[in-house]
Amino acid sequence: MKIIVDKAFPSYFQPAYPEEFELFSHFETTAAIPSVLFAVTTWKPNGKPNVCFHAWSCFHGDRNAFFVVMGGLYQHTHTYANILREGCFGVNFLPLRDYDRLVKTIQDNQDDADEFAVGGFECCQAQTIHAPLIQDAFLTLECTLKDARDLSGAGLTAMVVGQVQRACVEEDYAREHGKRYGEDGFMLLIPSPQNLQTGAPGPSAVATLCIRRYDA
């Protein structure tokens, strides 16, 4: 038997924290679809580097261009304002061991904060755009702003699309599957799976990848 969840908010759903369903759609916790975690990096107007620990995104393109499609980027954030102002941003992938350092940049993100210093990250300058990058990242993407739009029309979040201009991969991660997939590679957010029978909230979780099969 399948459990059906409609567009109307299920009255029996319990939030994991008071503002959860003011921020997120209930479909977020209904589906609980994993997505890769990464750091978006930009410059603040005062010249301080900004870090945004983000998920809710996908990466795809065709032979003409490759795109980063970031969903659910809040319009009130430094990151959104910085991307619109500068017309670019960096995407930085770090392994699970850096999770706590990335969380620190969420907790201490005032206007005058150097968020690279907050997280203990070494800063380097992108080559094709005006954005800082995290030297520690095993993969970085330099992106120019392609599009930004408010899909819901509520003025809360935006979908931001960046076109990748340059990728930089750490040599140890540049050998086929290798280190990118496992404890030292990509980490994924599992967003608070709801118990669809009782409505009880579940905690969010962070996962790493384990290859089970190769597509031969």
Per-residue model confidence as pLDDT tens digits over 91-122: 999 999 999 999 999 999 999 999 999 999 99
- Give residues with Cβ within 8 angstroms of 138, minimum separation 6: 93, 94, 95, 169, 170, 172, 173, 179, 180, 184, 185
Q: Indicate the residue type of 31.
A: A
DSSP, res 91? E
Q: Backbone phi, then psi, for 212, in 5-degree steps? A: -105, -20
Contact 76, 57 (CB under 8 A): no
Query: Could you read off the pLDDT of 26-57 as tens digits, one per residue?
Result: 999 999 999 999 999 999 999 999 999 999 99
The pLDDT, as a whole number, for residue 216 is 78
Give this prediction's pTM: 0.95
Q: What is the residue whose two structure tokens read 């999770």? A: 99
Query: Could you read off the pLDDT of 1-24 as tens digits, one per residue?
Result: 999 999 999 999 999 999 999 999
Query: Could you read off the pLDDT of 120-138 as tens digits, one per residue?
Result: 999 999 999 999 999 999 9
Query: Could you read off the pLDDT of 70-91 as tens digits, one per residue?
Result: 998 999 999 999 999 999 999 9
The pLDDT, as a whole number, for residue 125 is 97
DSSP, res 87? S
d(CA 100, CA 113): 17
Structural tokens at position 58? 């996908």
d(CA 181, CA 109): 30
d(CA 56, CA 70): 6
Query: Could you read off the pLDDT of 148-185 as tens digits, one per residue?
Result: 999 999 999 999 999 999 999 999 999 999 899 999 99
Contact 141, 91 (CB under 8 A): yes
pLDDT band at 58, cuts 50/70/90?
Answer: very high
Average of per-residue pLDDT across 140-148? 98
The pLDDT, as a whole number, for residue 92 is 98
d(CA 57, CA 68): 7
